[in-house]
Amino acid sequence: MVQKKRAEVPVDETWNLEDIFSTEELWEHSYVEIEGVLDHFLKSSIKLENSKDVLTAVQDLESLLEKLELTTSYARYKFSEDGTDQTNQTRMGRTQFLMEKAANVKTTFMNAFLSLSSEELNTYREEERRLEEYNKFLNKLEEARKHTLSPELEDALASLDSTLKSAEGIYDSITSSDMKFEPVSNRNGKEVPVSLFMYMTQIETSPDTTLRRNAYKSLTSGLNNYKHGLAHTLATEIHKNISLAKLRGYPSTFDMLLQHSSPTNFFLDADGITSQHFEQILDTIRLELSPHMQRYAKLRQRELGLDKLLFSDVKAPLDPDFDPEISFEEAGEIIIEAVGVLGEEYKELMRKAIKERWVYRGDNVGRNMIAFGGGVHGVHGYVFYPWGGNLFDMILLGHELGHALHFHLAHENQRIINNSMPLFFIESPSTLIEHLIVQYLRETRDDPRLHRWLNMYLMMSYHHNFVTHVLEAELLRRLYKMAEAKQPLTTTTISETKGAILSEFWGDTVEIDEGAKLTWMRQPHYYMGLYPYTYSVGLSASTVIANRIKEEGITAGEHWTEVLKQGGAKKGLDLFNMAGLDLSNTQLFSEAIKYVGSIVDELEKSF
């Protein structure tokens, strides 16, 4: 099967980017306008001599951020559709140039604000009450003050912003455009194309053992060709962050990454989670979850009749013959009904997202390898999810739609300058939608086999969000500590460390081969600070919230929708507190893991 070209993808399978810019010419006009504004700020100084000056400066920055988001989002989404297209590459390259200038301008604003003492800034905030609307932003400035460098050094770092982000860009370019995998045969002898995205969303969970194992060999062979280059890329990213943490005076790199998602730009999101709490979360999940997942691995091996469980089998379905197809339209209707418990406002937004082309679902050459959900301030949410056509796709699509609606609600209710999303909270709105779809199908379908499949899906979700991502975070923890201890991060070191983590977790239940050791090459999360651990936080919280909604009904669901509207106006822990959850300790994580154990109990009985 040959993938389509972008031009061959039907319109109804694409998202409507005309809601951002109706024509390419309008995007070009916006680009030129923003570049002019940036040049103006780079050539002029920002004077803050009174409270009115401060208000004007904040408003100018906010206006710039709004225009930047429109222009850069359009370019990024076009590039996601087809990264091999020359026009998209050129547009993205120009956008990166624009973002370099923007980084300098943001730093100019930050330097100006922080040239005022805390006392002066507080006085101006008291004098000009309209500054209250920007409290979250101004408070972040105060938090950043003690780790801010001299204006000259901040300007230098801002000028190097795109260079400092180059490791992630290199990874994305290689995996989306350069990395190729040989097609393989399934159990019927039919040729199936292999890509990172299709492997992780379709093939890895396929009931076809022949396809899974053949594709795994193809994937391993393809990854192996790039392992030295990508190991160097990852090591570069880690050393960069270590250097920046030292430069900014943080006790450790973890402390910096948990406080600010971008060490070169303090206007972005801060979690405020301590490095001790981060490590406690990792230890709790790894150690308490491992016995349940090993039980599940043994059940999988027994039911699939395998002599040994290979790493390519670790997500294989326990009921290989149950893989119902479903159309995008039918899946959309199910998702819309499933989220009704979150209130009519949320349900109507979900209907718009599915019916009004907020989703790109074409599977074409050059498309992004990773599904995502987000949104554009002042427009609406957007989702990138190439559609495969089964129940698994439906629930993962729901996950990405959960992100898109979260961003949409936050954008509608918060100023963009205050609205940097806390990473500690970011994966709970998406994983909750997965739970709600499962609950809805349990309540509206009588098929015992489907109910068993839903339990297996939940285990897949916990596997992906707890196991896969927590072990990614564990690899980051170990690699950062090695690098800080001056131990070289070679290809062998990275791969062997990944292999050791997998072996510790799975014990003797799963065979950890050379391909398993290369799984650090599959995800871009290693270039996103400590992002992988946020999945386990989100899934733990959404497990509890889903059960609460099931017990209390729409009142609890509507309250959750109100929490989503807060966006980045509160920190992650505060958002969870607003939702009635205490994530300041590890008790909730232990409760979620016990729930995983109960699902394994049910599955063992059902087989």
User: Do 108 and 236 fall within a single domain?
Assistant: no
User: Do 133 and 275 fall within a single domain?
Assistant: no
State residue 260's pLDDT score.
Answer: 66
State residue 262's pLDDT score.
Answer: 52
Q: Grade residue 132 by pLDDT with cuts at 50, 70 and 90.
A: very high
Q: What is the pLDDT of residues 58-111, one digit of tens each?
A: 999 999 999 999 999 999 999 999 999 999 999 999 999 999 899 889 989 989
User: Do 429 and 568 fall within a single domain?
Assistant: yes
Question: For residue 359, what is the DSSP state?
Answer: E
Alpha helices in 390-468 (DSSP H): 391-413, 428-444, 448-462
Question: Phi, psi at residue 291, to the nearest 5°?
Answer: -60, -40
Mean pLDDT of the region 14-31: 97
User: Do 160 and 241 fall within a single domain?
Assistant: no
| Torsion sign across C-alpha atoms 444, 450, 452, 457 | negative
281 residue type, one letter = I
**Is 146 or 283 the better-scoring residue by pLDDT?**
283
Q: Using CA atoms, how far apart are residues 17 and 27, in angstroms rounded to an integer?
A: 11
Kindly give, in sequence order, each residue whose CB lies less than 8 Å from that of residue 423, ignoring residues fewer than 6 positions away: 261, 269, 271, 529, 530, 531, 534, 572
Structural domain includes residue 537: yes
Q: What is the CA radius of gyration of the chain?
A: 24
Q: What is the pLDDT of residues 535-594, one digit of tens each?
A: 889 999 999 999 999 999 999 999 999 999 999 889 899 999 999 999 999 999 999 999
Strands 381-384 and 184-185: unpaired
Question: Phi, psi at residue 384, to the nearest 5°?
Answer: -115, 110
| Closest C-alpha to 104, from 163, 55, 53, 48 | 163
Q: Which of 164, 181, 208 is the last residue of a domain?
A: 164
Question: Phi, psi at residue 372, to the nearest 5°?
Answer: -155, 160
Q: Grade residue 2 by pLDDT with cuts at 50, 70 and 90.
A: low
Rounded (to 5) percent helix, strand, coil in the chain: 70, 5, 25
Structural domain includes residue 79: yes
Q: Using CA atoms, how far apart are residues 487 and 472, in angstroms rounded to an integer?
A: 19
CATH number, domain with residue 67: 1.20.140.70
Residue whose tokens read 């393809």: 222
86-114 and 51-81 helices cross at what angle (nearest 10)? 160
| Closest C-alpha to 322, from 443, 458, 448, 190 | 448
State residue 322's pLDDT score.
Answer: 85
State residue 145's pLDDT score.
Answer: 86
Structural domain includes residue 254: yes
CATH number, domain with residue 525: 1.10.1370.20
Going along 97-252, which residue ranges are E strands? 184-185, 191-192
State residue 157's pLDDT score.
Answer: 86
Least confident of 26-30, 72-76, 455-459: 455-459
State residue 264's pLDDT score.
Answer: 45
How many degrees, rounded to 5, is the angle at CA 398 between CA 396 and CA 399?
Answer: 65
Structural domain includes residue 194: no
Q: What is the pLDDT of residues 356-398, one digit of tens each?
A: 999 999 989 888 878 999 999 999 999 999 998 989 899 999 9
Report CA-CA distances (Å) from 481 to 158, 285, 546.
27, 20, 36
User: Do 201 and 392 form a contact (C-beta atoms < 8 A)?
Assistant: yes
State residue 268's pLDDT score.
Answer: 44
Strands 191-192 and 381-384: unpaired
| Torsion sign across C-alpha atoms 565, 569, 571, 575 | negative
User: Do 106 and 140 form a contact (C-beta atoms < 8 A)?
Assistant: no
Question: Phi, psi at residue 182, to the nearest 5°?
Answer: -70, 135
Q: What is the pLDDT of residues 252-291, one digit of tens each?
A: 999 999 886 554 454 445 567 899 999 999 999 999 999 9
Question: pLDDT at residue 115 above 50?
Answer: yes
| Closest C-alpha to 334, from 317, 322, 351 | 351
Report CA-CA distances (Å) from 407 to 53, 296, 373, 422.
31, 35, 9, 12
Report CA-CA distances (Å) from 278 to 215, 427, 530, 532, 585.
35, 16, 9, 11, 10
Q: Which of 119, 140, 164 is the last residue of a domain?
A: 164
Q: Using CA atoms, how far apart are residues 594 and 199, in angstroms rounded to an integer?
A: 30
- Bridge-partner residues for 325, per DSSP? 390
In the chain, how many domains are there? 2
User: Do 159 and 242 fall within a single domain?
Assistant: no
User: Do 499 and 569 fall within a single domain?
Assistant: yes
User: Do 332 and 426 fall within a single domain?
Assistant: yes
The boundaries of the domain holding residue 84 are 6-164
Structural domain includes residue 136: yes
Mean pLDDT of the region 295-320: 91
569 residue type, one letter = A
State residue 146's pLDDT score.
Answer: 85
Q: Which residues of 183-194 are buried (b: 16+ CB within 10 A; e: fewer)?
A: ebebeeeeebbb
Structural domain includes residue 221: no
Q: Using CA atoms, how far apart are residues 457 and 395, in angstroms rounded to an integer?
A: 9
Question: Phi, psi at residue 131, to the nearest 5°?
Answer: -70, -15
Q: Which of 177-186, 297-306, 556-565 has the highest mean pLDDT?
A: 556-565
User: Do 281 and 155 fall within a single domain?
Assistant: no
Q: Which of 146, 164, 182 is the last residue of a domain?
A: 164
User: Do 272 and 140 fall within a single domain?
Assistant: no
Q: Grade residue 316 by pLDDT with cuts at 50, 70 and 90.
A: confident
Going along 255-308, which residue ranges are E strands? none
State residue 1's pLDDT score.
Answer: 52
User: Do 598 and 476 fall within a single domain?
Assistant: yes
Q: Hey, how many other C-beta atoms are within 10 angstroms of the C-beta on 498?
A: 23
User: Do 383 and 400 form a contact (C-beta atoms < 8 A)?
Assistant: yes
Structural domain includes residue 214: no
Structural domain includes residue 182: no
User: Do 496 and 601 fall within a single domain?
Assistant: yes
User: Do 160 and 264 fall within a single domain?
Assistant: no
Q: What is the pLDDT of residues 498-517, one digit of tens each?
A: 999 999 999 999 999 999 99
| Closest C-alpha to 324, from 334, 313, 338 | 334
Question: pLDDT at residue 325 above 70?
Answer: yes
